[in-house]
Structure 1
Amino acid sequence: MDDCASVRESTASLLESASLTVREHANAGRILSEMAQLDGDCILTDLRMPRIDGLELLTRLRAAGCNLPVVVMTGYGDVTTAVRAMKLGAQDFIEKPFPPQALLRAVRSAIRCRRANGYDVRQAIIAWRLDRLTSRERQVLDRVLLGRTNRDIGDELAISPRTVEVFRARLMKKMECETVQDLVHAALQAGEA
Structure 2
Amino acid sequence: MNADATVLLIDDDADVRDAVGRLLRSAGWKAEVFASAEDFLASNSQVRIGCVVLDVRMPGMSGPELHDWMREHHVSLPVIYLSGNCDVPTSVQAMKYGAADVLLKPADADVLLQAISDAIARHCMDRARHDLADSIHLRMQRLSARERQVMDHVIVGRLNKQIAADLGIAEKTVKVHRGRVMAKMEVRSVAELVHLCDQLESTV
Structure 1 residue 34: deviation in Å? Answer: 3.2
CA distance in 2, matches of 1:99, 1:63: 31
Cα 1:36–1:104 shift into 2, 3 Å: closer
Q: 1:109 aligns with which of 93, 118, 133?
A: 118
For 1:9, the equivalent position in structure 2 comes to 18
CA distance in 2, matches of 1:120, 1:28: 29
Percent of paired sites with the same residue: 36
Does structure 2 conserve the Cα–Cα contact (< 8 Å) formed by 1:69 and 1:111?
yes
Structure 1 residue 37: deviation in Å? Answer: 2.5
Does the alignment pair 1:21 with 2:30? yes
For structure 1, list consecutive stretches of 5 or more residues without a partner in the other structure.
122-193
What do residues 71-110 of structure 1 show as CA deviations (whole Å, max 9, x unaligned)? 1110011222111011122111111122111110111111
Cα 1:3–1:70 shift into 2, 3 Å: same
CA distance in 1, matches of 2:125, 2:48: 16
Structure 1 residue 3: deviation in Å? Answer: 0.4
Does structure 1 conserve the Cα–Cα contact (< 8 Å) formed by 2:21 and 2:31?
yes
What do residues 36-85 of structure 1 show as CA deviations (whole Å, max 9, x unaligned)? 62345111111010101110000001101111101111001122211101
TM-score by length of 2: 0.56
Q: Which amino acid aligns with 1:87?
A: K
SS of residue in 2 equivalent to 1:103: helix
Pairing 1:1-193 to 2, within 5 Å after superposition? 1-35=10-44, 37-118=46-127
Q: Which amino acid aligns with 2:97?
A: L
Superposition CA RMSD, Å: 2.1
Cα 1:26–1:67 shift into 2, 3 Å: same
Does structure 2 conserve the Cα–Cα contact (< 8 Å) formed by 1:28 and 1:57?
yes
For structure 2, list consecutive stretches of 5 or more residues without a partner in the other structure.
1-9, 131-204
CA distance in 2, matches of 1:93, 1:84: 11
Q: Which amino acid aligns with 2:96?
A: K
How many residue pairs align between the two structures?
122
Q: Which amino acid aligns with 2:126?
A: N
SS of residue in 2 equivalent to 1:51: coil
CA distance in 2, matches of 1:11, 1:66: 23
SS of residue in 2 equivalent to 1:24: strand
CA distance in 2, matches of 1:93, 1:75: 11
